[in-house]
Amino acid sequence: MERLQKILAACGVASRRGSEKLILEGRVKVNGNIAQLGQSARLGVDLITVDDTKLDEKNEHVYLMLNKPCGYLTTKRDERGRNTVMELVAGVSVNVFPVGRLDKDTEGLLLFTNDGDFANIVMHPSFNKKKTYEVEVSGDVCDAVHLMKEPVKIDDYTVHAQKAELIKITADGGVMQITVIEGRNRQIRKMCSVCGVSVKSLKRISVGDLELGNLKPGKWRYLTKKEVFSFG
């Protein structure tokens, strides 16, 4: 017997956190009954369905990276019919899910997999996987770079940049590289706002030791074994 969210993640439905959300939304059933969060089941013995579709046995693990363009939601489906990142990886032969999120107006490196344990390692802050962003801002960028290195209060929690560097000065602001570990919702944008600058463009350029490189916007590629192993 295993927890449902672990089974769903192992089968490539979503990350464990995403699987918990599916269960809470009532989209998961076990033997015809709507599942409850915390419930356990046996894959191959119990009939497990998601959106009334039978759960498949675990596929071979797949790992890939996408250079996400602006204008796409990081979700597997959108009830309002908006563009999602799944359209950009439609050529992948197995069912994968996005690891973490980039908001609609953020571009750059986005990972996909059907390996729930890998997704947890990438996303959970306890594993200290750094994420680096290139952000163009308007305002006093020099002061912002300094403030980013100090604890910053956002909503009801405190964060700080692991690293903040000024890349160049522009007519109305500049470009920074900011590295964080927490990866909270819209964290970079909120940090910039608190530090007195406005985001003009935002791109994630690396996760852990994996760099976006010269992958073109809207394109994806499989990770090498070495790249997968670099996440531990």
Which residues, 6 or more positions from 157, have their beta carbon under 8 angstroms from its beta carbon?
184
CA distance 195 to 69: 26
Which residues form the catalytic set?
A: 103
Can you give the pLDDT at residue 77? 84
Instruction: List, by residue range, all CATH 3.30.70.1560 domains of the chain.
Output: 130-207
152-154 and 97-99 strand pairing:
unpaired
Least confident of 21-30, 58-67, 168-177, 211-220: 58-67
Instruction: List, by residue range, all CATH 3.10.290.10 domains of the chain.
Output: 2-54
**Into which CATH architecture does domain 130-207 fall?**
2-Layer Sandwich (3.30)
3-state secondary structure of 40: strand
Predicted confidence band of residue 232 (pLDDT cuts 50, 70, 90): confident
Q: What are phi and psi of 31, to 5 degrees?
A: 55, 40
Sign of the C-alpha dihedral computed for residues 67, 191, 210 and 63 taken in this order:
negative
Q: Where are the alpha helices (DSSP H) in the chain?
A: 4-10, 16-24, 116-123, 141-148, 187-194, 225-229
* Domain 2-54 superfamily per CATH: RNA-binding S4 domain (3.10.290.10)
The answer on pLDDT for 134 being more than 90 is yes
Q: Give the closest residue to 217 by CA, choosing from 65, 64, 69, 104.
A: 69
Instruction: List, by residue range, all CATH 3.30.70.580 domains of the chain.
Output: 63-126+210-229
Can you give the pLDDT at residue 175? 98
Q: Identify residue 184 by its one-letter amino acid code.
A: R
Each residue's pLDDT tens digit, 156-168? 888 889 999 999 9
Topology of domain 63-126+210-229 in CATH is Alpha-Beta Plaits (3.30.70)
Q: Identify residue 63 by its one-letter amino acid code.
A: Y
Can you give the pLDDT at residue 59? 66
Residue where the block lists tokens 């990350």 = 15
Q: What does the angle CA 68 – CA 138 – CA 164 come to, to the nearest 5 degrees?
A: 70
Q: Identify residue 78 by its one-letter amino acid code.
A: D
To the nearest whole number, what is the mean pLDDT of the chain? Answer: 92
Copy the structure tokens of residue 185.
Answer: 């919702």
Report pTM: 0.81
